Structures are given as structure tokens and as C-alpha cells.
Amino acid sequence: MKKFDGFPVKMTFTPIPNTFINNLMPQIDDIDELKITLYIMEALYNKKGYPRFIAFSELAGNASLMSGFKKTGNSPGEALKKALDKAIERKTILHLSLEKDEDIYFLNTPADRQAVEKLQSGELKLTGAKTGIVTAVVAAEPVNIFALYEENIGMLTPMIAEELKDAINIYPETWIEDAIKEAVKQNARRWSYITAILERWSKEGRSDGAYRRDTKKDDPEKYTGGRYGRFVRH
């Protein structure tokens, strides 16, 4: 066994949901399933745009990942497929087949479940499946969420920065951008209010790709009342 030299002073981090660590990880007894699940979490965290997913060709083409499947008794490709099948069966990972021999994978989050539903219904389309580089038909101009927060809400403290990173891992960045805009519109410039908006969209959906409007659209209490109020009360 090759011994680890230790973590460096400066390094990047990938958020891992507590639900995964406390509930799912103790149930996973297959090392390959654990490897592929953690790898997909890291890969999707570093992707931009909406929806965020990873193609099978990307996974199979990663030499570092595939090297970990060499001691399983199967070929690396077979081991990868079996690991993915187990993660899909457990419903940690969502799977879609776009074209012959082209499969894409998502985390089983509210935002990704909604994206999969839109892809299945044809409301959202992807291009490039046959090339192995799968992208959304309409790519949004990237927005610096951190700069947007500072410009419109207030100073970006280390705690808020971490919460923004977590939000980016859970929700499409366009949702966060729109939630910040909604907070500004309602003169509710605080992170708790933005979180309440995102929670509401996650539970109730956004039928038109923008935040859902109703008869109370100009009422700042629409996100602070009812079952969402607990997120913004002080």
C-alpha cells in the first residue's frame, strides 16, 4: 500500500451532504459504488450552467478514476457500469439515456429531479450527445454569484460564502441569481430571505424557468409566511 503524504496547506474542498455521510454512506458496502458516487459529487460541484450532469464518456475517459477499477476482477469499463448501476438502484444518482451509447448522470436533488423531468418531457433539450460532449441547447451567460451577492445584498462574510457554495451545489445558479433579484425587489436584502425563496422553488417548482408568480407577487411576506417563515424569522 502506498502511504499518503498528507494534505497540503492550500487545497480546494467539495461539499458532501450530511444526509449522505450519516444515512447513505453506512449502507454502501461496495467500494466501487462509493468511489463513483463521491466522484460524481465532486465533478458536478465543479460544473457550471444548468442542468449540471456528467456523461458516461467523461467518466470512462478519466484515467485517474478508471485506475481505481483495475483490481475488481472485471474490466475497468464493466466495473464502472456496475458501480453506476448500484448508485442508480439506490437512487443516489439519476440516469438518462439520450442517444445510443450516451448516458448522462445527475445527483438526486430537487433541482436535478426537475431538470430530468423537463428533459424527459422535451421542455429542455440537450445537444452534442453523439460527440460525447453534451451541453444544454441554451447556455446561460455565467454569473459570478458571489459578486452579485456583494453588489446587491451586502458584505460577503466567510459564513455566507460557504452557504453560497452549498447553494450552488444544490440549486441551478440561475435560481440563485433570480432569488437575489427577488430579494432586492422586495427590499429584503438578507440571506435568510434568499434561502426561503430557493426552498420554496425547490418544493413547489418553477413552471416557466423563472420564479413562479402569483397574486401576492408584490407582497414581501409571501416568502416569510406559512411553512417557509421559519427560514427568515430572527
Which residue among 136, 171, 206 closes a domain?
Answer: 136
C-alpha 192 chain-centroid distance? 20
* Residue 27 and residue 119 share a domain: yes
43 or 136: whose pLDDT is higher?
43
More confident residue, 96 or 210: 96
Give the pLDDT mean for 15-43. 91
Higher-confidence residue of 15 and 82: namely: 82
Which is nearest to 179 in space by CA: 189, 170, 169, 139? 189
Q: Which domain holds residue 106?
A: 20-136
Contact 44, 17 (CB under 8 A): no
Give the three-class secondary structure for 147.
helix
Q: Are residues 196 and 99 in the same domain?
A: no
Asked whether the predicted pLDDT for residue 159 surpasses 80, the reply is yes
Side-chain half-sphere CA neighbours of 150 within 13 A: 9
pLDDT score recorded for residue 95: 93
CB 166 within 8 A of CB 13: no
Nearest CA among 168, 174, 224 for reference residue 196: 224
Report pLDDT for 153. Answer: 92
C-alpha cell at 190: 438578507
Q: Specify the number of domains making up the chain.
A: 2
| Percent of the chain surpassing pLDDT 70 | 77
pLDDT interval class at 185 (50, 70, 90): very high
Tell me the pLDDT tens digit for each residue of 69-90.
876 667 888 899 999 999 999 9
Q: Is residue 70 part of a domain?
A: yes
**According to the model, what pLDDT value does residue 105 have?**
94
Last residue of a domain, one of 136, 169, 197: 136
Say yes or no: 116 and 44 in one domain: yes
Q: Does residue 184 lie within any of the structural domains? A: yes
- Quick check: pTM over 0.85? no
Quote the pLDDT of residue 114: 86
pLDDT at site 231: 42
The C-alpha cell at 223 is 416568502
196 occurs within a structural domain = yes
Q: Which residue has the higher pLDDT, 102 or 209?
A: 102
Is 209 found in the same domain as 163?
A: yes
pLDDT at 191 over 90: yes
pLDDT at 25: 94
Sequence-separated (6 or more) residues with CB below 8 Å from residue 147: none
Give pLDDT, residue 234: 44
Percent of the chain with pLDDT over 90: 29
Specify the 3-state DSSP secondary structure of 126: strand
